[in-house]
């Protein structure tokens, strides 16, 4: 490769490097805040605090919102998902079906249907997601985090690990507390 082509290639790769700002995370912060406040409001309306119910309501709302955002641009989401998800990389069908799995999980949490299965599936999905994100971060991938779909562009960062582990912890916690 001659010097000018090499120089152009380096400039192109540097031009595509994303500058991450804290404002990039505002959509996620707003969603987590609204979901948390909603789950707290329900607790207040019941006149008592129930950790299990709070976690179930949080997970229901969070899964439903995440699924909805992914469904706005299903193909765009699937393309992002396939960049670093362990299963998504190997299966386009899984990448396209994943938002519907999230939708079903959200509805299952909301209706309190098969709680042990719902929590188990959530735990497994979040552990797989965490591993995929950790590997992508280790490879220094410059991509969007597909958590909020392809519509809201949030950079892939260690925050993804925190969110995935938080959801895994809630699912695991409910399993340990005997979610029913």
Tell me, letter by letter, the H, E, C secondary structure of the chain: CCHHHHHHHHHHHHHCCCCCCHHHHHHHHHHHHHHHHHHHHHHHHHCCCCHHHHHHHHHHHHHHHHHHHHHHCHHHHHHHHHHHCCCCCCCHHHHHHHHHHHHHHHHHHHHCCCHHHHHHHHHHHHHHHHHHHHHHHHCCCCCEEHHHCCCCCEECCHHHHHHHHHHHHHHHHHHHCCCC
The answer to whether residue 37 scores a pLDDT higher than 60 is yes
pLDDT at 14: 39
Q: How much is the pLDDT for 147?
A: 85
Stretch 11-29: mean pLDDT: 66
- Residue 9 in any domain: the answer is no
Give a yes or no: residue 43 inside a domain: yes
Give the domain range for residue 74. Answer: 25-176
pTM for the whole thing? 0.84
Neighbours of 160 (CB within 10 A): 23
Q: What is the pLDDT of residues 106-147, one digit of tens each?
A: 999 999 999 999 999 999 999 999 999 999 999 998 888 888
Count structural domains, the chain: 1
Contact (CB, 8 A) for 54 and 60: no
- pLDDT, mean of residues 63-87: 95
Q: Indicate if the pLDDT at residue 11 is higher than 90.
A: no
- pLDDT, mean of residues 71-82: 95
Residue 17 within a domain:
no
pLDDT at 33: 95
pLDDT(57) > 90: yes
pLDDT band at 152; cut points 50, 70, 90: confident
Note whether residue 165 is domain-resident.
Answer: yes
Tell me whether residue 48 is in a domain: yes
Q: For residues 43 and 26, give the distance between their C-alpha atoms in angstroms, rounded to a whole number.
A: 26
Residue 7 has pLDDT above 80, yes or no: no
Which residues 6+ apart lie within 8 Å of 142 measured at CB?
16, 17, 18
Place of tokens 């670093």: 84
* 81 domain residue, yes or no: yes
Asked if 133 and 156 count as a contact pair (C-beta separation under 8 A), the reply is yes
Beta bridge partners of 178: none
| 104/6: higher pLDDT | 104
Quick one: which of 59, 166, 31, 76 has its CA closest to 119? 59
Q: What is the pLDDT of residue 179?
A: 60
């Amino acid at each position: 490769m001659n010097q000018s082509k090499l120089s152009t290639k380096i400039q192109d790769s540097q031009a595509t490097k994303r500058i991450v700002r804290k404002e990039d995370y505002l959509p996620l912060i707003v969603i987590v805040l609204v979901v948390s406040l909603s789950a707290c409001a329900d607790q207040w309306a019941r006149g008592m605090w129930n950790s299990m119910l709070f976690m179930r309501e949080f997970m229901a709302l969070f899964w439903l919102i995440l699924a909805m955002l992914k469904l706005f641009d299903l193909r765009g989401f699937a393309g992002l998902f396939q960049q670093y998800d362990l299963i998504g990389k190997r299966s386009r069908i899984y990448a396209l079906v994943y938002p519907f799995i999230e939708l079903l999980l959200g509805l299952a949490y909301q209706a309190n249907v098969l709680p042990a299965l719902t929590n188990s599936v959530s735990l497994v999905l979040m552990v797989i997601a965490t591993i995929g994100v950790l590997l992508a971060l280790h490879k220094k991938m410059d991509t969007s985090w597909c958590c909020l779909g392809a519509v809201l562009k949030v950079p892939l960062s260690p925050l993804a690990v925190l969110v995935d582990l938080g959801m895994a912890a809630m699912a695991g916690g409910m399993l340990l507390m005997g979610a029913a």
